Structure 1
Amino acid sequence: MKLRIGLGLTPPATATPSPPFDELLDRIEELGIDSLWFPDLIGADLPDPLVAIGYAAGRTRRLKLGSGVTVLPGRNPVAVAKELATLAALAPGRILPVFGVRHATERDRPLFPIPGPRGEVMDEALTLVRLLLENDDVSFEGKYHRCAHARVGPRPTRPLDLWLGGGGPQSLRRVGRLADGWLGAALTPDEAGAARRTIKAAATEAGRTVDDDHYGMSLVVAFDDLPGRDLGALRRQRPHVDIAELLPTGWAAARELINRYADAGVSKFVVRPAGTPRSWATFLAEFAAELLPLET
């Protein structure tokens, strides 16, 4: 498996200025970091994922760019397919879409009303996005989405891999049935290994395969002088799990946890700081020095 480690952006703290976006992109590319990921947080002071990916693709030449994750239900799947096709044409081989079923923050969820049960809407929308990215003429008649002789172009010369997030049983089975990869979060290494087995079993039942190196994990790293906002959220979300199994403190603990995930079959990582670094330049230099040697 190819082990790859990308960087996830985090909403800035009010009192901590962020570096100019161009400067951040230039430094990430210069350091050889594999990928940069943008969360789908409507109310946060962060750029929209797909807009940011388009801008970053024009600013960089090598950096892969991911949406981690973009919520699909509530968005027009034809428009999403068109946006992804455009991005893939402008930056071939560098666009990494990951979709989710619902927004992480409760305040964002009412902004995207959906016409039916979220899981059913997700299944239809993802199916339609894939059909549009892989076919020149698509007619689709679903319960919640429909189109006649639709086309988006230019279509990617190589089909885009469509990944999904989520950690519940239904979400994991959906990955096996419909997706090309998985980006999990807030799971221990043992739980990630079990999730991987669930996905593979669902894929086998559906007559599909998910590549062995298409299993990923979002990982938050804390530091003694930067506890950040994630500690309390994780404790509320997973009250019976040792927090060190989910949120390492310091680079050494992060390396150890990444190796444990890798032993469980996870090979793609999106690592972000628990809070805003006091110096992004320092954080990026340490990220490259401490984590990139783990890549294979």
Structure 2
Amino acid sequence: MKVRVGYGLGTRTPTLDGARFGALVDALEDLRFDSLWLSERISGPCPDPMVGLAFAAARSTKLKLGTSVQVLPGRNPFLLAKEWASLDRLSGGRTLPAFGLGVADPKEQAAFGVERKARAALFDDALPKVRRLWLGEEVDGVRVEPLPVQSPPEVWLGGIAPSELRRVGRLGDGWLPSFCTPADVEAGIPAIEAVAAAHDRAMDPEHWGALLPYLPTPQALPDVLAAAVAARRPDLEDPAEIVSAGLDAVVATIGRFVAAGASKFVLVPVIEPESWSEHLTEVAAAVRPLEN
């Protein structure tokens, strides 16, 4: 098992200034973080993921570039395949596309032009088309060029609901859930593998991951964030099961996830630091010994 640690901005971190976002990318590259992941939220302060990843690709040579996650229902699969193929080509094959249904916000769902009940069917129709286009196949009389360096890029999916686990087993190359616990991962892996086997597929054992939100120091979770965790996971009594407080807690949390079977992690700060370079140096010193 190869443990790798990447970094994400989530939907609440407003690093939109070019200089600050550039400093983040430069620090991740210099400190040899595995990857950068950008989330999608139309009404959030985070940068658009494709724009942000293109910016990051131009400033780096080794940093992998992922979405956590990008909304698929409502997007034109041909244009999406073209965008990712172009980014993969220009970055030298460093892309990690991850797709989802979108947030549980009726207004944002409407902004994508799809009804809530139609999202799953649209997702299941679009993803196979995107993959075929990446492989150079003709879909509805159209081919995408240039083809990506990866043939094709591996697609990661999120979610922990039973329907989402089944979708990962049917369509995903990897699993990257958020707002999850080690127990969720330990239960989810065999569930996904069973569905994959039923569809004559096999999941790569290296492709189990998790997004891990954290606070930079041991402190109480701000009320607004505690409320957000409670809304997403009302079944959990303690928000600390989702959000680690301090880097020692982050290291311990990663260890529990590794024991549950995961090996790819995306750290997501819930509070933006004053200096990305200084903070990420501290984070790298804490998590680098975990990688192998």
Which position in structure 2 is the counterpart of 1:31?
31
Q: Does 1:152 align with 2:134?
A: no
Identify unmatched segments of 5+ residues in structure 2.
none
The Cα offsets for residues 101-136 of structure 1, whole Å up to 9 and x where unpaired, read as 122555422211226621111100111111111133
Verify: 1:136 aligned to 2:131, yes or no: no
Q: Aligned-pair RMSD on alpha carbons?
A: 2.1
Counterpart in the other structure of 1:208: 201
Of all paired residues, the percent bearing the same amino acid is 41
Return the alpha-carbon distance in structure 2 between the equivalents of residues 106 and 267 of structure 1: 34
CA distance in 2, matches of 1:265, 1:12: 29
Aligned to 1:198: 191
- Note the alpha carbon deviations across 1:237-256, whole angstroms, 9 max, x for none: 22332322211111111111
- The separation in 2 between residues aligned to 1:250 and 1:224, in whole angstroms, is 4
For 1:18 and 1:188, the matched residues in 2 are separated by 34
- Kindly indicate whether the alpha-carbon contact (under 8 Å) linking 1:5 and 1:269 is maintained by their aligned counterparts in 2: yes
| 225-234 vs 59-68, which moves further | 225-234
> How many angstroms apart in 2 are the aligned matches of 1:77 and 1:193?
33
Listed one character per residue, the Cα deviations across residues 36-90 of structure 1 (whole Å, up to 9, x for unaligned) are 1111011222221111111211111111111110010011111100101111111
Alpha carbons 2:219, 2:245 under 8 Å: kept: no
Q: Say yes or no: does 1:243 pair with 2:236.
A: no
Change (3 A) 1:281 1:105: farther
2-structure distance, mates of 1:182, 1:233: 22
Alignment-mate amino acid for residue 159 of structure 2: G
Q: How does 1:118-129 map to 2 (within 5 A)?
A: 118-129=119-130
Counterpart pick for 1:266 among 243, 253, 262: 262
Structure 1 residue aligned with 2:169: 176
Instruction: Check conservation: 2:23, 2:276, Cα contact below 8 A.
Output: no
Residues 193-246 of structure 1: per-residue CA shift (max 9 Å, x gap):
111111111100000011001111001012345845432211222233232221
Secondary structure, in 3 states, of the residue corresponding to 2:68?
A: strand
TM-superposed CA distance for 1:166, in Å, is: 1.1
Distance 2:13 2:252 in 1: 27
Compute the displacement of 1:277 (Å). Answer: 1.9
Which one of 219, 229, 232 corresponds to residue 234 of structure 1? 229
Give the stretch that moved more between structures: 267-276 or 113-122. 113-122
Structure having the higher strand fraction is 1
Cα 1:53–1:179, aligned 2, differ >3 Å: closer, same or farther? same
Partner of 1:269, secondary structure, is strand
Q: Paired residues, what number?
A: 286
What's the TM-score, normalizing by structure 2? Answer: 0.91
SS in 2 for 1:117: helix
* 3-state SS of paired residue (2:167): helix
Query: Structure 2 matches for 1:276-295, cutoff 5 A?
Result: 276-295=272-291
Aligned-partner SS, 2:131: helix
Q: Deviations over 1:114-168 (max 9, x none)?
A: 2662111110011111111113322xxxxxxxxx211111112432101111111
8 A contact 2:220–2:245 mirrored in 1? no
SS of residue paired to 1:149: coil
| 1:43 matched residue in structure 2 | 43
Q: CA deviation at 1:259?
A: 0.8
For 2:158, the equivalent position in structure 1 comes to 165
* Contact 1:230–1:275 (8 Å) recurs in 2: no
Partner of 2:271: 275
Q: Is the 8 A contact 2:13 2:270 kept in 1?
A: no
CA gap of 1:152–1:197, structure 2 versus 1, over 3 A, is same
CA distance in 1, matches of 2:55, 2:235: 41
> Which whole-Å CA distance do the structure 2 matches of 1:286 and 1:120 have between them?
44
Distance (Å, rounded) in 2 between the aligned partners of 1:78 and 1:114 = 17
Give the distance between the partners of 1:259 and 1:12, measured in 2 at CA.
26
Map 1:42-61 to 2 at 5 A. 42-61=42-61
Read off the aligned partner of 1:170 and give its amino acid letter: S
TM-score (norm: length of structure 1): 0.90
Tell me by how many angstroms 1:265 deviates. 0.8
